[in-house]
């Protein structure tokens, strides 16, 4: 998959794609239905924005994203996307009228042949443009348009909001039913306090900055090591939260990979949350913590072996 970070100055070979357009936070089943409607004879593309427009307009609001840009790109590549147009959402883009966005970005810059959006799509300055406006404006530039209906699960519209709620409630399987895959946290392994190593459970630590926080606690997880000499798939148990045994801490994800030996610092991991095992707890000393960690790992092994 080729990634493009502006609509201007594109190589001619990057123009003329059939694109699905939106924020695609989570790339859930509703998003995938939109993407499928863009498949055709032209190369499949995605038009999305970075940062998320909500981050641009309200930078001080609590973190809400289901996935960072790296995880989104990885998921879109798995769906066969050939061109990812990750447009910079800044003052210039935010100021474009609906007419200007279609003329300058879709027609003039990207030269798209076909654009697909969800029925609730809004665009242009002040979110004034609707899906119906997009059809009208694209038609004037000879661009084919398709409006995708909203997809439902259990009589509820699939949305990033409903997936966030399922994760906040500690129900990763419910989230997975709407995503079409396990919810994953992806990123680089960073240095931590190395307490897990001292306790006999060395963990790979990952930051959660900018991400919606699932329910804190211990999870059974599936782990893909994406880079490095030990790339591959593993089972594990992970602690997501602030580590109350050791004072007030910034939330992070600490993953213990079963039957693994090696150094993962600087490598990139994809950690899938499968089942919430228990909430975070503060134990009466380290021996009690280690005993519970052993029970957690046994439970996680049993759950994951049944998948």
Q: Which domains does the chain have, with CATH numbers?
A: 2-153 (3.40.50.620), 182-305 (2.40.30.30)
Separation of alpha carbons 38 and 83, rounded Å: 12
The DSSP string of 72-92 is HHHHHHHTT-SEEEEEE-SHH
- What 3-state class would DSSP assign to 95? helix
Q: 205 with 165: CB under 8 angstroms? A: no
pLDDT (average), residues 264-278: 97
Q: What is the pLDDT, as a whole number, of residue 248?
A: 65
Separation of alpha carbons 284 and 184, rounded Å: 32
Average pLDDT across the chain, whole number: 93
Is 254 labeled as catalytic in the residue annotation?
yes
Which H or E run contains 177?
helix 172-179
Percent of the chain with pLDDT over 90: 83
User: Which pLDDT band, with edges at 50, 70 and 90, does 286 fall under?
Assistant: confident
- Identified catalytic residue from 254, 275, 280, 294: 254
More confident residue, 194 or 178: 178
Dump pLDDT digits (tens) for 82-140: 999 999 999 999 999 999 999 999 999 999 999 999 998 999 999 999 999 999 999 99
Q: 223 with 274: CB under 8 angstroms? A: no
What secondary structure letter does DSSP report for 276?
E
Supply the pTM of this predicted model.
0.90
Q: What angle do the packed helices 160-168 and 172-179 form, to 10 degrees? A: 160
Q: What is the pLDDT, as a whole number, of residue 247?
A: 62
Residue 281 predicted with pLDDT over 70: yes
User: Which pLDDT band, with edges at 50, 70 and 90, does 293 fall under?
Assistant: very high
Q: What is the pLDDT, as a whole number, of residue 284?
A: 83
Dump pLDDT digits (tens) for 232-259: 999 999 999 997 766 667 899 999 999 9
Separation of alpha carbons 251 and 213, rounded Å: 8
Dump pLDDT digits (tens) for 1-53: 999 999 999 999 999 999 999 999 999 999 999 999 999 999 999 999 999 99
The DSSP string of 97-131 is -HHHIIIIIIIIII--SEEEEETT--BSGGG-B-H
pLDDT (average), residues 63-71: 94
Determine the Cα angle at 238 with ends 171 and 59, to 5°: 70
Which H or E run contains 143?
none
Dump pLDDT digits (tens) for 195-211: 666 677 899 999 999 99
Location of structure tokens 């790992």: 297
Residue 154 predicted with pLDDT over 90: no
Provide the terminal-to-terminal Cα distance of the chain, rounded to the nearest Å: 30
Is the backbone peptide bond immediately before 139 cis, with ω within 30 degrees of 0? Answer: no
- Residue 252's φ and ψ, nearest 5 degrees, are -150, 180
Q: What is the pLDDT, as a whole number, of residue 157?
A: 75
């Amino acid at each position: 998959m080729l990634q493009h970070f502006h609509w201007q100055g594109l190589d001619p070979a990057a123009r003329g794609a059939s694109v699905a357009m939106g924020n695609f936070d989570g790339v859930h089943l509703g998003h995938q239905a939109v993407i499928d409607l863009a498949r055709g004879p032209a190369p499949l593309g995605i038009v999305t924005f970075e940062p998320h427009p909500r981050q641009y307009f309200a930078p001080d609001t609590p973190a809400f994203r289901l996935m960072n840009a790296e995880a989104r790109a990885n998921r879109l590549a798995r769906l066969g996307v050939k061109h990812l147009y990750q447009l910079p959402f800044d003052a210039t883009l935010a100021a474009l009228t609906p007419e200007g966005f279609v003329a300058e970005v879709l027609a003039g810059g990207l030269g798209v042949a076909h654009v697909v959006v969800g029925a609730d799509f809004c665009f242009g300055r002040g979110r004034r443009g609707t899906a119906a406006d997009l059809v009208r404006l694209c038609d004037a530039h000879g661009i084919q348009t398709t409006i995708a209906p909203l997809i439902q699960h259990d009589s509820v519209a699939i949305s990033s909001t409903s997936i966030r709620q399922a994760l906040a409630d500690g129900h990763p399987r419910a989230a997975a039913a709407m995503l079409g895959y396990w919810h994953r946290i992806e990123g680089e392994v960073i240095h931590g306090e190395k307490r897990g190593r001292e306790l006999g459970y060395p963990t790979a630590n990952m930051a959660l900055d900018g991400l919606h926080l699932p329910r804190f606690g211990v999870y059974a997880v599936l782990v893909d090591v994406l880079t490095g000499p030990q790339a591959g798939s593993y089972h594990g148990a992970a602690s997501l939260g602030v580590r109350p045994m050791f004072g007030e801490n910034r939330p992070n994800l600490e993953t213990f990979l079963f039957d693994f030996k090696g150094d993962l610092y600087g490598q990139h991991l994809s950690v899938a949350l499968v089942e919430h095992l228990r909430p975070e707890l503060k134990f009466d000393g380290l021996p009690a913590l280690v005993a519970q960690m052993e029970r957690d790992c046994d439970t996680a092994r049993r759950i994951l072996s049944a998948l």
